[in-house]
Amino acid sequence: MTTPSVPRTVRILTARLAQACGVALMVSVVCFLVVQQLPGDAAYRIAAGRYGADLVDSAAAQGVRQELGLDRPVWQQLGDWCADLFTLDLGRSLVTTRTVVDELGPALLATLQLAAAALLGAVLIGAALGTEAARRPGGIVDRMCAAWVAASRALPPFLLGIGLMVVLSGRAGWMSSAGGDGLAALVLPALTLAICLSGLFARIIRDAVIEVHQSAYVQFARTKGLPERVVIIRHTIRNALVAVVPYVGVQAVVLIEGVVVVESLFSWDGLGHALVHAVFWRDVPVLQGASLVLALLIVAINTGVDLAVAALDPRPRHAGVTA
Amino acid sequence: MNTPSRRRVVSLTATLTAALVTTACGGGGASDRARTIARVVGPFEIHSLEPTASNGLFTRLEVADTVVSSDVEGTLAPGLATTWQPSADKLTWTFDLVDGARFHDGTPVDAPAVAASLTKTAADAASPLAGAPIAKIAAVGETLNISLSTPDPTLPALLTHYSAGILAPSSYDGAGRVTKVVGSGPFEVTELELPSSITTRRFTGYRGDQPTIEGVEFSVVGRAETRAVMAASGQADVVFGLEPAGRQRVDAADGVSMASALQPRTVLLKVNGAHPALKDVRVRRALSLMLDRDRIAEAVLREKDLAATQIFPPALATWNQPDLEPLTHDVDRARDLLTEAGYRPSADGKTLERDGKPLRLTLTTYPDRPELPPLATAIQEAARAIGITIDVAVGNSSEIPAKHADGTLELALLTKHFALVSDPFVSIAETFAAGGAEWGVMNWQDPALTTSLATVAQQPTGPAADAARHEVASVIQEQLPVVPVAWYRLNAAVSDRLGGFVIDPIEHSWRLSETTWVP
């Protein structure tokens, strides 16, 4: 009780670690069971993934079935996977026979890169629009901002992506539609996602800024003669962030789950892409691995948000202290 | 008081825009690669380095050679072997290997290396070689000898398949897995990223003429829409797998044109010959007559000429029979045939039924080839018009062999490639085998057809073989154990910068080593 900030961080980390373990176990089991319920014969599907539709026949499927032990009882296959997971061994892809770590490592990096760029873009566009709209609620910028919010939420990412691709890549020839090297390939998918997310960011930032602006402490800061710039930096931004940061966290989660469409449109080899393929080809180890990574990523983001909010907002929340 | 904040907003926006534009322009499209590396884009993923599971990419990109090759007409041509001949008893084939060939690691392409590579392929159940009666593959001096347990005249054709691409001993690890692709073709792999890209450069130690282009960058782009934009804007030199809408976009664009060739591939309805309704040839004929193939081909494939008039497309020159009476569209005749088969309109008049059971069929298909689901819907609609209810089930392609094996398949819409290996006989004999085929006939056989196939197997050329091939096509046209729907055109958008690009209808190779940059 004497030093509330240290136990609070530790408490957050311990709780989240326990949560991560629980989530990992649950996601793995649920994934495994769901895949077992999918229609069709897994051996045929895996063979189709490996050899292509023109070469799949029952001999190839039988070869796959024997090689992977798919005729063993379900509980035995699940037990093996859980035992391997305990030793941090995620297994090998059934289709490519590479290890799941080799398969998903680059995909995770690619998705994080895309999500970070998209989030940064969305925050920048959202902050620019939101703070400007908050200056005169009901003014012309505010109304344009509201229109932007509606438009960006209503446009499906697929359509927006194709539109941007046709205009920026096809017509203007500024950038490659898909593939290409590093940053150049990142621009279009990141911009697509950033535009989709920016509307709600603008709205949240606008509301948070208006609320903070009208608060007693900002009024007081102005009364005591602080310049507007200092009021914004010292008082408005930090207090508005307390509301905005958790929202960024929520959006990051939505983003990570929602990159599938954009990744496939722009041939960005991320987790979403890997996940879709794994489902299609019944690549159970990759599917379990990808779901596990996604689930742990969400726990990590939530942990980051908790820690950030704890740092931004030092007011203790522990019942014992506030009482 | 407004100024500082507004300035901030403006500067933020400007920074963001500048950052985006800078990174965008930095990457560039195909222009900075012009005249060095050809950029090829397609939907084919690189699942594995193993030849059988490689989607044929290493032979198409001319990294790996096959012992026997084939030209654009599908005729066998020398590959790593210059000549080949069977022994008198036809149980041993001898292949003389080309002199001076080297693998990309500098080691010689000798008979032991070729035999070792082929032995691994023949042991892989998914390779067509696994189905051949191969007893032993061995190096005898400078020649490759393949012993068979029974004669098989199609062996050289089987060796043209991509799974039989020859890799150097250094390609394999201790467990026999391929860890890198070391072939002997005109291009060697410099970078490889599974599942999305392969980059090659010319192999300076190549035994033949050096390619003009310095190398090839192949990237996988999954969405047809994206590929269309890349083709139309010149971001790629060759783009495979365009849908009709994308082809129109390319036709309207400058600096790029479509190259195409009719493929030895047919879209067909696989029919379960033991199904209570479908075992009656009148019902199968009604299914065929109900199809307005011209309109379906025009609406879905955007090309009327692809409407199938018989099972073998014109691309299969020796098998296509121009004098065969074409399959036609005749709804009234279809209705009459169904009436003859005992089907009467139900009480509500919407469907046909026999013994109180409605004529209802499930059609299984898959989306790997994007035109299949729309074609299935068109077939469903044509059937509805004559009172047959068809439920379309779009799933994974593997459901067709799986449902064939357990006997639950009713109808399936699939595409059948008749020249996966360069001699179409191999695929045709398998498709119409008396015992049925997972990608062919099901619970159906015809003695005349089986005899004719045996005739062609024994003596592939001459008037007797021609007559036998005619008999095969005629029996299929009459009996309809599979119902032909459409033929297939393989196409690619090719940039005007790249000269000499020729489409190989059997996709043995993309022949990029023969292309040049147009000034």
CB A175, CB B26: distance < 8 Å: no
Residue A197: other Cβ atoms inside 10 A: 26
The one-letter code for the residue type at B20 is L
Percentages of chain B per state (helix, strand, coil), in multiples of 5: 35, 25, 40
Phi-psi region of B302 (alpha: psi -120 to 50; beta: other; left: phi over 0): left
Contact A125 B229 (CB under 8 A): no
Contact B235 A50 (CB under 8 A): no
Kindly report the pTM of this predicted structure: 0.78
Q: Which two tokens stand for residue B484?
A: 């032909």
Query: What does the pLDDT read at residue A256?
Result: 67
What are the backbone dihedrals phi and psi of residue B194, each rounded to the nearest 5 degrees, phi first? -80, 140
pLDDT tens readout for residues B403-412: 998 899 999 9
Contacts of B372 in chain A (CB under 8 A): none
Across the interface, of B23, B56, B397, the residue whose CB is closest to A183 is B23
What are the backbone dihedrals phi and psi of residue A153, each rounded to the nearest 5 degrees, phi first? -80, -30
Which candidate, A79, A27, A67, places its Cα nearest to that of A275?
A: A27
Mutate to test the interface with A, among B1, B11, B20, B409 (most CBs of A within 10 A): B20
Q: Is B175 on the interface with A (CB under 8 A)?
A: no
Contacts of B164 in chain A (CB under 8 A): none
Residue B130: other Cβ atoms inside 10 A: 18
Question: Virtual CA dihedral for B361, B365, B371, B376, nearest 10 degrees?
Answer: 10
Q: Taking 50 as the threshold, does the pLDDT of residue B2 lie above it?
A: no
Q: What is the Cα–Cα distance from A299 to A317, expressed in whole angstroms?
A: 21
> Nearest CA to CA, how far is A45 from chain B (Å)?
5
CB B81, CB B89: distance < 8 Å: no
Contacts of A62 in chain B (CB under 8 A): 125
Eight-state DSSP code of residue B192 = E
Contact B397 A124 (CB under 8 A): no
Contact A175 B29 (CB under 8 A): yes
pLDDT tens readout for residues A128-171: 888 888 888 888 888 888 898 888 888 888 888 888 888 887 77
Across the interface, of A132, A170, A174, the residue whose CB is closest to B9 is A132
Residue whose tokens read 């496939």:
A264
% pLDDT > 90, chain B? 63
Q: Which two tokens stand for residue B116?
A: 């070792």
The one-letter code for the residue type at A132 is E
Q: What is the Cα–Cα distance from B384 to A46, expressed in whole angstroms?
A: 35
**CB proximity under 8 Å: A 267-296 to B:** 267, 269, 273, 277, 280
Q: What is the Cα–Cα distance from B418 to B429, expressed in whole angstroms?
A: 10
Which candidate, B214, B207, B223, B165, places its Cα nearest to that of B190?
A: B214
Residue B160: other Cβ atoms inside 10 A: 26
CA A68, A72, A74, A75 dihedral sign is negative
Residue B395: other Cβ atoms inside 10 A: 17
Q: Is A44 on the interface with B (CB under 8 A)?
A: yes
CB B84, CB B96: distance < 8 Å: yes
Eight-state DSSP code of residue B108 = B
Eight-state DSSP code of residue B166 = B
Residue A151: other Cβ atoms inside 10 A: 12
SS3 category, A273: helix
Please report the DSSP string for B465-512 in residue order.
HHHHHHHHHHHHHHH-SEEEEEEEEEEEEEETTEES----TT-S---G
The one-letter code for the residue type at A225 is G
Contacts of B24 in chain A (CB under 8 A): 168, 174-175, 184, 187
Helix (H) / strand (E) element for B216: namely strand B215-220
Contact B12 A127 (CB under 8 A): yes
Question: Virtual CA dihedral for A53, A58, A62, A64, nearest 10 degrees?
Answer: 0
B37-42 and B238-240: which strand pairing?
parallel
Contacts (Cβ under 8 Å, ≥6 apart) of B359: B277, B283, B338, B343, B351, B352, B353, B387, B388, B389
pLDDT tens readout for residues B384-397: 999 999 999 998 78
Which candidate, A37, A11, A60, A263, places its Cα nearest to that of B438?
A: A60
Q: How far is CA B182 from the centre of its chain?
A: 25
Q: Is B20 on the interface with A (CB under 8 A)?
A: yes
Per-residue CA distances from B382 to A89, B289, B366, B385, B489 (Å)? 53, 10, 19, 5, 24
Please report the DSSP string for A94-132 in residue order.
TTT-SBHHHHHHHHHHHHHHHHHHHHHHHHHHHHHHHHH
Query: What does the pLDDT read at residue A181?
Result: 57
Residue B77: other Cβ atoms inside 10 A: 14
Q: How far is CA A177 from the centre of its chain?
A: 23
Q: What is the Cα–Cα distance from B39 to B219, expressed in whole angstroms?
A: 8
CB A41, CB A61: distance < 8 Å: yes
- Going through B89-142 in order, the beta strands assigned E by DSSP cover 92-97, 134-140
pLDDT tens for the 323 residues of chain A, in order: 444 555 777 888 888 888 888 888 888 788 888 877 777 777 887 887 777 767 777 888 888 888 887 778 878 877 877 787 777 777 888 777 788 888 888 888 888 888 889 889 988 998 888 888 888 888 888 888 889 888 888 888 888 888 888 888 777 667 676 665 566 678 888 998 898 888 888 888 888 888 887 888 888 887 888 887 777 777 777 777 777 788 777 777 777 666 777 888 888 888 888 888 787 777 888 888 888 888 888 888 888 888 888 887 766 555 444 43
pLDDT tens readout for residues B165-202: 999 999 999 888 899 999 999 999 999 988 888 999 99
The one-letter code for the residue type at A159 is L
Query: What does the pLDDT read at residue A258?
Result: 62
Please report the DSSP string for B255-301 in residue order.
SEEEEEEEEEEEEEEEEBTTSTTTTSHHHHHHHHHT--HHHHIIIII
Beta-ladder partners of B195: none
Eight-state DSSP code of residue B389 = E
Residue B251: other Cβ atoms inside 10 A: 12
pLDDT tens readout for residues B330-340: 999 999 999 99
Q: Is B266 on the interface with A (CB under 8 A)?
A: no
Residue whose tokens read 């479908």:
B278
pLDDT tens readout for residues B114-151: 999 999 999 988 888 988 899 999 999 889 999 999 98
Helix (H) / strand (E) element for B240: namely strand B238-240
The residue in chain A having the minimum alpha-carbon distance to the alpha carbon of residue B196 is A269
Question: Virtual CA dihedral for A111, A114, A120, A124, nearest 10 degrees?
Answer: -140
What's the ipTM? 0.73
Beta-ladder partners of A175: none
Beta-ladder partners of B97: B81
Across the interface, of B4, B47, B438, the residue whose CB is closest to A228 is B4
SS3 category, A46: helix
> Across chain B, what does the average pLDDT equal?
88
SS3 category, B90: coil
Tell me the count of A-B CB pairs closer than 8 A: 194
Angle at B251 between CA B249 and CA B257, to 5 degrees: 120
Long-range contacts of A250-255 (CB under 8 A, 24+ apart): A251/A119, A251/A122, A251/A197, A251/A200, A251/A201, A252/A115, A252/A119, A252/A301, A253/A298, A253/A301, A253/A302, A254/A197, A255/A115, A255/A118, A255/A119, A255/A193, A255/A197
Helix (H) / strand (E) element for A80: namely helix A74-86
Across the interface, of B8, B195, B398, the residue whose CB is closest to A45 is B398
Q: Taking 50 as the threshold, does the pLDDT of residue B4 lie above it?
A: no
Query: What does the pLDDT read at residue B339?
Result: 94
Q: What is the Cα–Cα distance from B371 to B263, expressed in whole angstroms?
A: 15
Q: How far is CA B353 from the centre of its chain?
A: 39
Contact A175 B52 (CB under 8 A): no
Contact A228 B53 (CB under 8 A): no
Contact B398 A186 (CB under 8 A): no
Q: Taking 90 as the threshold, does the pLDDT of residue B413 lie above it?
A: yes
CB B138, CB B116: distance < 8 Å: no
Query: What does the pLDDT read at residue B33?
Result: 44
What are the backbone dihedrals phi and psi of residue A207, each rounded to the nearest 5 degrees, phi first? -60, -45
